[in-house]
Amino acid sequence: MSEEKRAKIVLRILNKIYPKTPIPLKHRNIFTLLVSVLLSAQCTDVNVNNVTKNIYPKYNKPEHFVKLGRKKIEKLIRSIGIFRIKAKSVYNLSKTLVQKYNGKVPKTFEQLEELPGVGHKTASVVMSQGFGYPAFPIDTHIHRLAQRWGLTSGKNVVQTEKDLKRLFPKKSWNKLHLQIIYYGREYCKARECYGLSCKICNSCYPNRKKPLITKKA
Residue among 111, 112, 164, 110 nearest 137 (CA): 164
Query: Catalytic: which of 71, 88, 107, 139?
Result: 139
Cβ neighbours around 192 below 10 Å, total: 10
Query: Catalytic: which of 26, 45, 53, 121?
Result: 121
Q: Strand, helix or coil at 50?
A: helix
CA distance 90 to 12: 39
- Does residue 139 have an active-site annotation? yes
- Within 8 A by CB and 6+ apart from 174, the residues are 128, 129, 132, 134, 135
Mind telling me the catalytic residues? 121, 139
